[in-house]
Chains A and B, each alone.
Chain A
Amino acid sequence: MLAPLFAGVDFAPPNVEPLHILPILVLGLLVAAALFLELKDDDTPADTEHRPVILGVGVLSLVGLIGYYLSWSGPLAHPTFNSMLHSDGLSRAAGLLIAACALLTLLAAPDELERYRNYRMGEFAALLFSASLGMTMMASADSTMVMFLGLELFSIALYLLCIFLPDRAASRESGMKYFLLSSAASAVLLYGLALLYGATGSTWLSDMSQAADTANPVLCYAGCALVLCGLMFKLAAVPFHFWAPDVYEGAPTTVTAFMSVATKVAALSFLWRFLAVLNDQTFELAKIILFALCCLSILVGNLMALGQTSVKRMLAYSGVANAGYLLIAPVAGFELYQPMIFFLFAYLVGNMGAFLALAQLEQSLGKPVTVSDLPGTFKRDPWIAGAFAVCLFSLTGLPPAAGFLGKFYLFGKTLAAKQYWLPVFGILGSLVGAGYYMGTAARLFAPGADDAAAEEDENQGFSISSTSDLALGICVLGVLYMGLAPGQLLNWLSTNGMPGL
Chain B
Amino acid sequence: MLLNLVIGLPIASGLVGYFLKQKGSRGFGVMIAALQLAFLKSLLTGDPGSLHFFSPWVPELGLNWSLGIDGLNEVLLVLVPLFTLLAILSRSADSDNLPGFVASLLVLDGMLCGLFLSQNLGLFYIFFEGMLLPTLVLIAGYSKRDGPETALKFLLYTLVGSLPMLLGVLSFAFSSTGGESLEFSELKTIAVAKQLTLFLPFLLAFLVKMPVVPFHGWLPTLYRNAPASVTVVVAALMSKAGTYGLLKVGYTMFPDAMALMAPSLCILAVASIIYGAFAALGSDSIKEILAFSSLSHMAMIALGLFSFTKNGVSGATLQMVAHAVSTGGLFLVVALMEKRSLPDKLRRYGGLASHTPRLAVMALFLSLASLGQPGLGGFPGELYILTGSWQRNEGLTLVAALGIILAAAYLLRWYQKIFTGEAGTYHVPKDISSEEMLLLLIPTGLSLLIGLCPSVFLTLIQKTLEGVM
Residues of A bordering B, CB below 8 Å: 375, 378-379, 382, 386, 389-390, 393, 398-400, 404-405, 407-409, 411-413, 415-416, 418, 423-424, 427, 430-431, 434-435, 438-439, 441-447, 486-487, 490
Contacts and interface: CB of A to CB of B under 8 A. Distances in A.
B163 A430 contact: yes
B174 A416 contact: yes
Nearest to A389: B133
A426 to B, nearest CB: 9
A378 B137 CA distance: 9
B61 interface: yes
B: contact size bracket: 35 or more
24 contacts: A378-B100, A382-B19, A393-B132, A393-B133, A398-B130, A405-B58, A405-B61, A408-B61, A408-B170, A412-B174, A416-B175, A423-B170, A427-B164, A427-B167, A434-B163, A438-B136, A438-B151, A441-B140, A442-B148, A442-B149, A443-B140, A445-B100, A445-B147, A447-B141
Contacts of B136: 389, 438, 441-442, 445
B155 A490 contact: no
Contacts, number: 117
B167 A423 contact: yes
A375 B148 contact: yes
A445 B58 contact: no
B130 A400 contact: yes
A382 B100 contact: yes
Interface in B75-114: 96-97, 100
Contacts of B126: 399-400, 404
* In the A-B complex, the 8 residue pairs with the closest CB atoms: A442-B148, A445-B141, A416-B174, A442-B140, A412-B174, A399-B126, A445-B140, A442-B151
B141 A434 contact: no
Given A382-B100, A423-B167, A431-B156, 18 more contacts: A378-B97, A382-B19, A389-B136, A389-B137, A399-B130, A405-B58, A407-B166, A408-B166, A408-B173, A411-B166, A411-B167, A415-B167, A424-B167, A427-B163, A431-B160, A442-B136, A442-B148, A446-B147
B117 to A, nearest CB: 15
Interface in B165-184: 166-167, 170-171, 173-176
Nearest to B128: A399
Contacts of B137: 378, 389, 445
Which applies to chain B's interface (DSSP): helix, strand, loop or mixed? helix
Contact of A434 (B61, B97, B125, B156): B156
A442 B147 contact: yes
B147 A412 contact: no
B5 interface: no
Contacts of B167: 411, 415, 423-424, 427
A446 B163 contact: no
A399 B125 contact: yes
A386 B129 contact: no
B148 A382 contact: no
Contacts of A389: 133, 136-137
Contact of A413 (B19, B100, B174): B174
A412 B179 CA distance: 13
Contacts of B58: 405, 486-487, 490
Contacts of A490: 58, 60
Contacts of B61: 405, 408-409, 412
Contacts of A434: 155-156, 159, 163
A441 B138 CA distance: 12
